[in-house]
Amino acid sequence: MIRYLNQDKNISFNLQPHQLRKLVDVIPGTMISCDKGLIWLTESDDRQDYTLRPGHHVVIRKKGEVLIEALNESDLHISYPN
């Protein structure tokens, strides 16, 4: 589980195949981008799941949890709203 308390910084990280990351207290407007690989992402209270390829992103709509799984080795970037 990752809790980002300092949400004025952008964060990048790598996930290995089938590695999971749970993000908590994610604020609306946060953008999660895939820079490399393929990731699956789901947001709390959203019935839709997302699959992101390089160059694709999702903007979080509600405060809550986000679960991310790398389907292969992946690089992610999280950008917080201004």
Written as one string, the DSSP assignment of 53-78 is -TT-EEE--SSEEEEEEESSSEEEEE
What are the 10-residue block averages of pLDDT along the chain, 82 residues in total? 59 95 92 97 94 97 95 95 80
> Which CATH number is associated with domain 2-79?
2.60.120.10
Position 63 scores a pLDDT of 93
pLDDT at 2: 54
Please state the pTM of the whole predicted model. 0.87
Please give the Cα distance from 82 to 52 (Å, whole number).
23
Give the residue extent of every domain in the chain.
2-79
Q: How far apart are CA 64 and CA 40, in angstroms?
A: 17
